[in-house]
Chain A
Amino acid sequence: MGLLRLLSRIWDAITSFTRPPNAATLFRRADLYRQEGRFEEAAELVAQGLRQAPNNGVGHLLSAYLHLAFRQIGPAKSEFQAVLGLDPYHPRALLGLAKIALEERDLAACRPFLDKALQYYPDFPEAKALQDMVSSWTVTPMAAGQRPVYAGPPIQVEKLKPPAGGREFVLTQADGTLVFSQQGDKDAEDLAGHVTQVYRIASATLQRAGLGALRRGIVQAATETTFFRTNDRLILALSFPQDVKVGFGLLETDKLWTNSLRELGVRA
């Protein structure tokens, strides 16, 4: 009997080299690749694993992560939902859907996902960081015309003229209320929404890094460079063509910032 068992184990060991790996092995290997940033190889293994085990939560979670890594948001959402179909309280799937809701600026959808994840797993640092960040945000209605309206002192537009080359100048309050924009209504609201969101997330990131409150920002893209200036209440954003010298952009943004504060009767 002992000999038979030994022979059986030897046979298993030999055939394991030639047998195709099972789903668990594929997912384990895929996760290792993913952690090394080898997303294409990881995705291939996950796809193989899910063909073998279509209802495997680990497989769907990995698939969701990899879709996110490839910036494929719709498929990532479906995969996180597939995980929740198998385990409605899966904290990582809840966090994934919260992040997607945040990207879609759907704060009303984002909060319950975070609350649910933390209800069952209170020591979940990523979910806690996001919950801390969004807890102070007001839920801004998305429909045009329903946004909060600026109710401060009237602004003399001619005093807030952006410098030569400056474009997409926008001034918002920290709660997202549009104060002034160089552009038309629809574009201005989109721009104000983005600027506010960048301000909020960058502020939370700086606080988390122990560096204090956000004061300035520079975002460089292929065709433009955008300068941010802010205090705790107001956010100014101004873009220039990509080839602008950073020193010039900073100087002009500061001038416009000072003028804006003066116009609004706010101390620097």
Chain B
Amino acid sequence: MSAEPATPRPASARAREFRRILAEMLKIDRVRGGLVVAADGLVITSSLPRTVAVEPLAALAATLGRELEVGADRLKRTPFHTALFSADDGTVFLGSSPVGFVVVLGDREVNVGLVQWALRKALATLEGAWGPQSQVPATPEDI
């Protein structure tokens, strides 16, 4: 069970970082909830509407994230960074990071571009806690 420890910041800062990142995402207009879930389905932090049970959603979101990772690998594609899936009543956003997946729920009026941009910023911050930061466009319009 070896992993390359590339932690420029104290590791204890991670838990706070996850909570801060989720809190930032929740400030976006029309975002209804979100969670950070490890690849094994462990919920690291969450804030969801009362009508949505956290464990089942986390299990499915982690399974979706893993399919996107494994599928890309199987098809010899590069790993996914972000994904979104829209339905009649809202959108699920998913971001991949070394710790697992950041999941954001938006309602049908959510500004998709803004959430995607904020998610990429959040993922870059998370990557910073593990290793080198990736490039994020300066504004949502640049995506």
Contact = CB atoms under 8 A, between A and B. Distances in A.
Contacts of B39: 68-69, 71
Interface stretch (A14-22, A59-67, A140-148, A255-263): A59-67
A65 B40 contact: yes
Nearest to A207: B87
A23 interface: no
Interface string A25-37: 0000000011111
A215 B87 contact: yes
A229 B3 CA distance: 38
Contacts of B62: 99
A116 interface: no
Nearest to A217: B85
Nearest to A32: B15
Interface in A189-227: 190-191, 194, 197-198, 201-202, 204-206, 208-224
A60 to B, nearest CB: 11
B41 A126 contact: yes
Interface class of chain A by DSSP: helix
B133 interface: no
Interface residues of B, number: 61
Contact of A96 (B14, B40, B92, B105): B40
A187 B90 CA distance: 32
Interface stretch (A3-11, A39-47, A82-90, A158-166): A39-47
B57 A209 contact: yes
A147 to B, nearest CB: 16
A24 interface: no
Nearest to A129: B56
Contacts of B69: 71
Given A36-B14, A75-B1, A219 B60 contact: no
A149 to B, nearest CB: 22
Given A37-B15, A221-B79, A201 B1 contact: no
B81 A68 contact: no
A228 B92 CA distance: 14
A206 B87 contact: yes
B43 to A, nearest CB: 9
Contacts of B105: 209, 211
B91 A211 contact: yes
Contacts, number: 187
Interface residues on A, range: 35 or more
A128 interface: yes
Contact of A204 (B60, B66, B99): B60
Contact of A103 (B51, B66, B75, B88): B66
Contacts of A129: 55-57, 59-60
Contact of A198 (B42, B71, B87, B113): B71
Most buried by B among A35, A47, A205: A205
A121 interface: no
A257 B75 CA distance: 23
24 contacts: A36-B15, A37-B15, A37-B44, A39-B38, A64-B40, A65-B42, A68-B39, A69-B38, A69-B99, A95-B41, A129-B55, A129-B59, A130-B59, A133-B60, A198-B71, A201-B67, A202-B64, A205-B61, A205-B64, A206-B87, A210-B51, A216-B86, A217-B83, A222-B79
Interface of A: 33-41, 43, 46-47, 63-72, 75-76, 95-96, 99, 102-103, 125-126, 128-130, 133, 187, 190-191, 194, 197-198, 201-202, 204-206, 208-224, 228, 246
